[in-house]
């Protein structure tokens, strides 16, 4: 690709283009920018100033340094699958797209680690090493397209996080471009629990507000010797919920322990991957155990016993990998499946103590009745991570607002029973105000003080993660004042 | 206990005594303070200004507020078993002893968590819940006396951290008195992965430099259904080391995978808990697997096969819980056992990639030869955490210094092969300079900048964790200047 200069009337565009290698590595015309006005959270939209596509850490660092010097707001973006609006350019940011930094840099099987660029797609890592018997554990439902860089920003979870932990448990090292353009390395040697403060943990899940990750060392795991998957149908949510508690109480740690309610089942059965779930039941459990072969059969026997003791209507074990695959496709496309039964839907992401599920579902049912909107529930039941999906029609006046309010009310319920407002999707712009359900002003200030250490000009992804009424506008004003002074 | 006023010539002592409830809750005479001049790292000693014994969070907060207002340096101390000097009063600190805050506040079996005060002894937690089938996983060798508050400060590990993770993986919530006396709660509801920055991870392992923990919510685990323990003797370290790699490669995650070398064996066999290890071998492995019964036998069979393939001299499975207990007592008292073969010893705490063990041991052997000091090696082999124990005689002029240098040289070897300088004992004052082996000045500055957010006056445990030549003296000077102004 030959280097083509950009000649925009905006000198910043020209300079940024020069840094990243010309016109093929920058978008700045309004029609091109429209594709970047939101991410997986589609309710709020805003246009960036430009989108640049750096190829390496040096280019990222130079872009950041330029923005820092010229007081241009900026943020990083992976595949744009985030569900809380973390990559939406609220402040006319320069978006630094990581999609061209997508290499698998190294694999070290002996010490169980791999190094990737942030734009490397999650599932590709497992696909690259599965023939040698290894895999990467965190598996968000979007794993076929989301990037590991985005996973780090959001501390992404997934169905198998019950046994294996979320992204932060699998990150051994990071190269980070700080908001002033400096490059630092944390956990250089991929050794976990380094001395000093846990910066790795601090940056993972900081939703793109502390720095831009440009290289990631991850832990890889050996494929389990065996895997078995169970489907169990229950006439009553309370029975399904009790079965979840019983399985955990029996000392079994399933690799995954998922639940869907009646409305969710209606959706997944109407969409692309139906598997024939009965429609007259209140709950389906999808339970997977893995490990060495010798123990698996015994665990499955115990799980079947638990289900039968809790009045299961029907329970079955996947006969083969193909059937297992179909069950997981049905579950993993659960959010999108809502499109088959509703023009629009809003995903929420609360966490509750497992034992509170029946109470929470009944209160969510009440919210549904009061708002007049149907709510489906998909639940990582094992770790208490509940996804209420509020179904609505954005074309009907006022219904989007009603859906947002219903979603927020669901999170309030989660916080009220001793839970929290996000398990894996992050806060972004969507749940900023809901942060007040779980943090006091002082606790939020302790966090924004930390942000200030890393990001003193607050040019990097400002207005996200923490509530600050009117602060976005304020920041823009400050930036303009600084720029014109 | 009746309240007795203290009448010292030092007004601060009188005021502090007033806050904590009189003369029975403060020590300030030199003869009393001598017991507090060091912790488990006995090479450096310094006297505190006073030791106070608060009974609750309010008293801690008031003591801290008083110190903050009057520019008195202060630090928190648990059982004083720390091995890197984190509780040594370098700056004539007021020591806030947590030993009277030692209650088990609540146990919630259903949601698998317990709340303790910081002075609660680690092993007491397991003892309090074992009859109901639960336990607390992190098990430092000092667990019979160390406190959970101290474990949080140091992010303590233990033999079973290979499978279950270190302290940070078991902390769900903290109440913290900040260096200005404010009290914050993090992870209030014991829900992990709260939104916002990971303050829980940041404070855990910050070695008492960011705040004082006054309440801790921990994760508790169900006792595994079964447990089996194996002892394997090898004529060559390289065979033992290769057996470790083979076990991990086979996809087995043992609950513990420990190694001791020839000098370490000599020590443990000469001390209080000998078990009859042969003295002519180079390495003993202690391997434990746990989980549901059905899988255990198969795992043991695989482990025995691996050992035989690697020329094991003798391998045996513990016949019963009593034998298992004896093997563990032999291993867990390994540090102290060095006292049976040497007047003094210095414990080091490096981390290396598992695969580098033979190379590292040979380089440590060279350090031993050059220094003329014997070095024993106790190794959490599964997670690469190596404890060289430098044996010396402090009565011989210059030998303490020689031991310190040999210890530092061992850490340099660990860093050189791609490892790091501490796995579980922390940096404290002992390894401050060695931080330079693994961090650049910028990376250290990023961390001290964070400290400044929490601890802007640097009155709390100053001069620890980070290298800063002359800084301790500087801090004292600043403090004095501030106090007299």
- Report the residue of A174, A191, A383 to disrupt the B interface, i.e. the one with the largest count of B CBs within 10 Å: A191
Measured between CA atoms, how close is A346 to chain B, in angstroms?
19
pLDDT in tens, B44-89: 899 999 999 999 999 999 999 999 999 999 999 999 999 999 999 9
Residue of B nearest to A110 (CA): B355
Q: What CA dihedral angle connects A483, A427, A194 and A63, to 10 degrees?
A: -30
What strands lie across the sheet with A26-27, from one edge to the other? Answer: A26-27, A50-52, A94-97, A74-77
Residue B428 in tokens:
């404290």
Of A251, A296, A447, the CB nearest to B196: A447
Chain A residue at shortest CA distance from B224: A251
* Chain A hits for B431, Cβ within 8 Å: 195
C-alpha atoms less than 13 angstroms from C-alpha of A483 in its C-beta half-sphere: 15
- The Cα-based distances of B225 to A143, A251, B288, B293, B295 in angstroms read 35, 8, 13, 6, 10
Q: In B, which residues are within 8 Å of A201 by CB distance?
A: 168, 198, 201-202
Angle at B346 between CA B341 and CA B352, to 5 degrees: 110
Do A39 and A60 contact (CB within 8 A), yes or no?
A: no
User: Residue B483: what pLDDT?
Assistant: 46
Tokens linked to A155: 């501390």
CA distance A139 to B53: 48
Q: Searching chain B, which residue's CA lies closest to the CA of residue A168?
A: B193
Give how far B85 is from chain A: nearest CA, Å: 14
pLDDT tens track, chain A, 485 positions? 557 888 889 999 999 999 999 999 999 999 999 999 999 988 889 999 999 999 999 999 999 999 999 999 999 999 999 999 999 999 999 999 999 999 999 999 888 899 999 999 999 999 999 999 999 999 998 999 999 999 999 999 988 888 888 999 999 999 999 999 999 888 866 666 678 899 999 999 999 999 999 999 999 999 998 999 999 999 999 999 999 989 988 888 899 999 999 999 999 999 999 999 999 999 999 999 998 787 888 899 999 999 999 999 999 999 999 999 999 999 999 999 999 999 999 999 999 988 888 899 999 999 999 999 999 999 999 888 999 999 999 999 999 999 999 999 999 999 999 889 998 899 999 999 999 888 888 888 888 988 998 999 999 999 999 997 434 334 334 444 544 54
- Return the residue matching tokens 């289900």: A307
Task: Give the span between the Cα atoms of B216 and B225, in whole angstroms.
Answer: 27
| Chain B residue closest in CA terms to A242 | B110
In angstroms, what separates the C-alpha of B482 from chain A's closest C-alpha?
A: 25
DSSP output for A184-242: EEESTT--SS-SSS-HHHHHTTSTTSS-EEEEEEEE-EEPPSEEEEEEEEESSHHHHHH
By the 8 A CB rule, do A459 and A53 touch? no
CB contact under 8 A, B222 and A450: no
**Res B470: pLDDT:** 34
CA torsion A316→A157→B196→A337, rounded to 10°?
A: -70
Of A157, A182, A223, the CB nearest to B442: A182
Nearest to A189 among B189, B205, B418 (CB): B418
Set of chain A residues whose Cβ sits within 8 Å of the Cβ of B210: 197
Q: Do A427 and B195 touch (CB under 8 A)?
A: yes
Kindly state the helix (H) or strand (E) to which residue A55 belongs, with its residue range.
none
Q: Which of B110, B112, B156, B191 to mutate to test the interface with A (most CBs of A within 10 A)?
A: B191
Question: Does residue B276 register a pLDDT over 90?
Answer: yes
Q: Render pLDDT for B365-411 as a digit per residue (tens, 0 to 9).
A: 999 999 999 999 999 998 889 999 999 999 999 999 999 999 999 99
- Number of A to B CB contacts under 8 A, please give it: 194
Exposure letters A403-412 (e unless 16+ CB within 10 A, then b): bbebbbbbbb
Structure tokens belonging to residue A356: 């509170």
Nearest to A451 by CA among A438, A464, A434, A435: A464
| Residue A197 to residue B447, Cβ atoms within 8 A | yes
Q: Scanning the structure block, which residue is given the tokens 């004082």?
A: B212
Residue in chain B closest to A202 (alpha carbons) equals: B198
For residue B337, how many other CB atoms are within 10 A of its CB? 28
Q: Work out the angle at residue A404's Cα, subtended by the Cα atoms of residues A400 and A405, and round it to the nearest 5 degrees.
A: 115
In chain B, residues with a C-beta closer than 8 Å to the C-beta of A211 are none
CA B442 to chain centre: 27
Distance in angstroms (rounded) separating the CA atoms of residues B89 and B53? 16
Comparing CB atoms, the residue among A110, A189, A197 nearest residue B419 is: A189
Interval B123-140 mean pLDDT: 96
Give the DSSP H/E element, type plus range, for residue A204: none
Contact B158, B140 (CB under 8 A): yes
Yes or no, beta carbons of B182 and A442 under 8 Å apart: yes
Q: State the nearest Cα–Cα gap between B357 and chain A, in angstroms.
A: 13
**Chain A closest-CA separation from residue B241 CA (Å):** 13
Q: What is the set of domains in chain A, with CATH numbers?
A: 11-97 (3.30.43.10), 104-222 (3.30.465.10), 226-416 (3.40.462.10), 435-484 (no CATH)
Beta bridge partners of A216: A116, A174
Average pLDDT over chain B, rounded to whole? 91
Q: What is the mean pLDDT of residues B235-254?
A: 90
Question: Nearest CA to B365 among B432, B259, B282?
Answer: B282
| Distance between A100 CA and the closest CA of chain B, angstroms | 28
Q: Which of A197, A208, A241, A448 to mutate to test the interface with B (most CBs of B within 10 A)?
A: A197
Instruction: Give the pLDDT of residue B114.
Output: 96
Please answer yes or no on whether A465 and B196 come within 8 Å at the CB atom. yes
Which residues of chain B have a CB within 8 Å of the CB of A196? 427, 435, 439, 444, 447, 465-466
Mutation site for A-interface testing, chosen from B195, B290, B353 by largest number of A Cβ within 10 Å: B195
C-alpha dist (Å) from residue A232 to A161, A259, A383: 20, 9, 18
Residue A388 bridge partners (DSSP): A377
What pLDDT score does A469 carry?
A: 42
Contacts of A353 in chain B (CB under 8 A): 110-111, 189, 191
- State the Cα–Cα distance between residues B229 and A414, nearest whole angstrom: 43
B472: pLDDT confidence band, cut at 50, 70 and 90?
A: very low
Q: List C-alpha distances in Å: B263 to B240, B274, B391.
A: 15, 14, 10
Chain B residues in contact with A190 by the CB 8 A cut-off are 418
Nearest CB among A294, A419, A449 relative to B191 is that of A419
Chain B residue numbers touching A384 (CB-CB < 8 A): 191
Compare all CA atoms of chain A with the CA of B351 and give the residue at the minimum distance: A191
d(CA A424, CA A385): 8
Distance of CA B172 to the CA centre of its chain: 19
**What's the confidence (pLDDT) of residue B15?**
96
The distance of B379 to chain A (nearest Cα, Å) reads 16
For residue A6, the model assigns a pLDDT of 87
Q: How many CA atoms, within 13 angstroms, populate the side-chain half-sphere of residue B279?
A: 6
3-state helix, strand, coil in chain A (%, to 5): 40, 20, 40
Calculate mean pLDDT across residues B93-111.
95
Q: How confident is the model at residue B471, as a pLDDT? A: 42
pLDDT at B357: 87
- Please give the helix or strand (H or E) that residue A285 lies within, else none: strand A283-291
pLDDT digit string (tens) for B150-195?
Answer: 999 999 988 888 888 899 999 999 999 999 999 988 886 666 667 8
Residue with tokens 């996947």: A318
Q: What is the pLDDT of residue B76?
A: 98
Reported ipTM? 0.80
Of B168, B299, B453, the CB nearest to A450: B453
Beta strands in B93-180 (DSSP E): 94-97, 104-108, 113-116, 134-135, 171-177
Show the tokens assigned to A25: 């590595």
pLDDT tens for residues B417-460?
988 999 889 999 999 999 988 888 878 888 898 899 899 999 99
Answer left, alpha or beta for residue B158, where phi above 0 means left and psi between -120 and 50 means alpha. Answer: left
Secondary structure of B426-447 as H, E, C letters: CCCCCCCCCHHHHCCHHHHHHH
């Amino acid at each position: 690709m030959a280097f083509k200069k950009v000649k925009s009337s905006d000198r910043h565009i020209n300079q940024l283009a020069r840094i990243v290698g010309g016109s093929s590595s920058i978008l700045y015309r309004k029609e091109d920018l429209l594709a970047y006005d939101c991410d997986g959270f589609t309710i709020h939209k805003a246009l960036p100033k430009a989108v640049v596509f750096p190829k390496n850490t040096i280019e990222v660092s130079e872009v950041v340094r330029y923005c820092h010097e010229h007081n241009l707001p900026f943020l990083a973006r992976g595949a744009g699958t985030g569900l809380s609006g973390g990559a939406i350019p609220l402040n006319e940011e320069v978006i630094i797209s990581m999609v061209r930094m997508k290499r698998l840099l190294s694999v070290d099987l002996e010490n169980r680690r791999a190094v990737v660029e942030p734009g490397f797609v999650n599932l590709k890592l497992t696909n690259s090493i599965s023939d040698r018997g290894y895999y990467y554990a965190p598996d968000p439902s979007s794993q076929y397209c989301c990037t590991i860089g985005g996973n780090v920003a959001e501390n992404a979870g997934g169905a198998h996080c019950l046994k294996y932990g979320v992204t932060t448990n699998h990150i051994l090292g990071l190269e980070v471009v700080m908001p002033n353009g400096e490059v630092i390395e944390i956990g250089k040697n991929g050794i976990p629990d380094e001395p000093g403060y846990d910066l790795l943990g601090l940056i993972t899940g900081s939703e793109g507000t502390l720095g831009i990750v440009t290289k990631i060392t991850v832990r890889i795991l050996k494929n389990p010797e065996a895997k078995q998957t169970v489907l169990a149908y229950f006439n009553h949510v309370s029975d399904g919920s009790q079965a979840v508690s019983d399985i955990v109480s029996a000392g079994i740690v399933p690799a995954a322990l998922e639940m869907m309610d009646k409305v969710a089942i209606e959706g997944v059965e109407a969409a692309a991957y139906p598997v024939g779930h009965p429609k007259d039941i209140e709950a389906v459990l999808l339970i997977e155990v893995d490990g060495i072969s010798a123990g698996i059969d015994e665990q499955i026997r115990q799980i079947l016993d638990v289900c039968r003791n809790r009045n299961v209507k029907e329970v079955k074990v996947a006969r083969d990998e193909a059937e297992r695959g179909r069950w997981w496709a049905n579950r993993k496309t659960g959010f999108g499946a809502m499109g088959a039964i509703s023009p629009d839907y809003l995903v929420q992401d609360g966490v509750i103590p497992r034992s509170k599920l029946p109470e929470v579902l009944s209160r969510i049912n009440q919210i549904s009745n009061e708002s007049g909107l149907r709510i489906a529930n998909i639940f990582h039941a094992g770790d208490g991570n509940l996804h209420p999906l509020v179904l609505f029609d954005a074309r009907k006046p006022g219904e989007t607002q009603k859906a947002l309010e219903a979603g927020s009310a669901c999170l309030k319920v989660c916080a009220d029973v001793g839970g929290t407002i996000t398990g894996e999707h992050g806060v972004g712009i969507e749940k900023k105000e809901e942060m007040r359900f779980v943090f006091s002003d002082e606790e939020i200030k302790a966090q924004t003080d930390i942000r200030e250490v890393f990001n003193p000009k607050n040019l990097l992804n400002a207005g996200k993660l923490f509530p600050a009424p009117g602060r976005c506008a304020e920041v823009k004003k400050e930036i303009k004042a600084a720029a014109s002074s």
